[in-house]
């Protein structure tokens, strides 16, 4: 997914007044066909912004002051399937590969000198 596609998604959410709930609009892998119904809105946004690619300090500032941030990353299958607990892999990001996974950064921290991100990976 390209960064511009994410911006298009957020602009659609602003213009349409929100997005449907997962229960009312499940993922089905069919060709794009919008089945949006305003009566099923589960979330809405009033605006959005972008963070400089690769700038973890800027990401930390946004998460710490504004809240959760949707990000796209290049991830291996093990990380894509990760659901709970602590995931650690020094080499999980391969910048030469295309982005292939979206997740939400909801927090961050540091323990014993090791920085970490808290993410929602669903």
What would the mean pLDDT of 72-79 be, rounded to a whole number? 82
Residue 2 has pLDDT above 60, yes or no: no
Question: What count of other Cβ atoms lies within 10 Å of the Cβ of residue 10?
Answer: 15
Query: So where are the chain's domains?
Result: 1-50, 51-122
For tokens 């929100």, the residue is 18
Q: What is the pTM of this model?
A: 0.69
- Residue 49 contacts by C-beta under 8 Å, 6 or more apart in sequence? 62
Q: Say what the pLDDT of residue 106 is.
A: 93
Report the half-sphere exposure of 14 (CA within 13 A, side-chain side): 10
Confidence of residue 92 (pLDDT cuts 50, 70, 90): low
What would the mean pLDDT of 93-98 be, rounded to a whole number? 63
- Choices 3.30.70.600, 3.30.70.2860, 3.20.20.150, 3.90.70.10: CATH for 51-122: 3.90.70.10
User: DSSP class of residue 99?
Assistant: P
CA distance 64 to 59: 8
Candidates 70, 48, 73; CA nearest to 59 is: 70
Mean pLDDT (the chain, rounded):
84
């Amino acid at each position: 997914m390209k960064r511009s596609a994410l911006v298009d998604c957020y602009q659609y959410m602003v213009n349409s007044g929100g997005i449907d709930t997962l229960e009312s609009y499940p993922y089905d892998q069919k060709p794009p066909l919008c089945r949006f119904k305003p009566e099923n809105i589960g979330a809405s946004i009033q605006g959005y912004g972008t963070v400089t690619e690769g700038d973890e300090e800027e990401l930390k500032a946004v998460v710490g002051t504004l809240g959760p941030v949707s990000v796209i990353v290049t991830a291996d299958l093990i990380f894509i399937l990760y659901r709970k607990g602590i995931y650690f892999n020094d080499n999980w990001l391969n910048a030469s590969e295309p982005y292939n996974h979206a997740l939400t950064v909801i927090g961050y921290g540091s323990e014993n000198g090791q920085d970490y991100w808290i993410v929602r990976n669903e």
